[in-house]
Amino acid sequence: MILQNLGVAITGSGSALPANCLDNETLSKLVDTSDEWIASRTGIRQRRLANSSQSVSEIASIAAKDAIAMAGISPLDIDLIILATSTADDLFGSACQIQTQIGATNAVAFDLTAACSGFVFGLVTAAQFIRTGVYQNVVLIGGDILSRWVDWQDRSTCVLFGDGAGAVVIQATESDRLLGFEIRSDGTQNNCLNLSYSPESQPLTPGIEVGKGNFKPITMNGKEVYRFAVQRVPEVIDKALFRANITTEQVDWLILHQANQRILDAVAQRLNIPSHKVISNLASYGNTSAASIPIALDEAVRNGQIKTGDTIVASGFGAGLTWGAAIFKWGI
CA 316 to chain centre: 7
User: What are the backbone dihedrals phi and psi of residue 3, each rounded to the nearest 5 degrees, phi first?
Assistant: -85, 125
* Closest approach of ligand ACO to the CB of residue 100, in Å: 28
Signed CA dihedral, 269, 156, 115, 231: sign only: positive
Q: Give yes or no: 276 in active site.
A: no
Among 5, 37, 176, 185, binds ligand ACO (CB under 6 A): 37
Which residue's CB is nearer to ligand ACO, number 187 or number 206?
Answer: 187
Tell me, by CB under 6 A, how many residues bind ligand ACO. Answer: 23
8-state DSSP, 187: G
Cis peptide leading into residue 83 (ω within 30°): no
Among 5, 106, 156, 219, binds ligand ACO (CB under 6 A): 156
Q: Is 75 exposed, middle or buried (0-12, 13-18, 19+ CB in 10 A)?
A: buried
**60 to 99, contacts with ligand ACO by CB under 6 A?**
none
The residue from 96, 116, 158, 192 that is catalytic is 116
Among 11, 15, 42, 125, binds ligand ACO (CB under 6 A): 42
**180 to 199, contacts with ligand ACO by CB under 6 A?**
193
Among 19, 188, 208, 223, binds ligand ACO (CB under 6 A): 223
What residues does 138 pair with on adjacent strands?
A: 80, 170
Output b/e per residue, 82-95; b: 16+ Cβ within 10 A.
bbbbbbbbeeebbb
- List contacts with ligand ACO (CB under 6 A): 33, 37-38, 41-42, 115-116, 155-156, 159, 193, 220, 222-223, 225-226, 229, 259-260, 287, 289, 318-319
Residue positions annotated with a catalytic role: 116, 257, 287
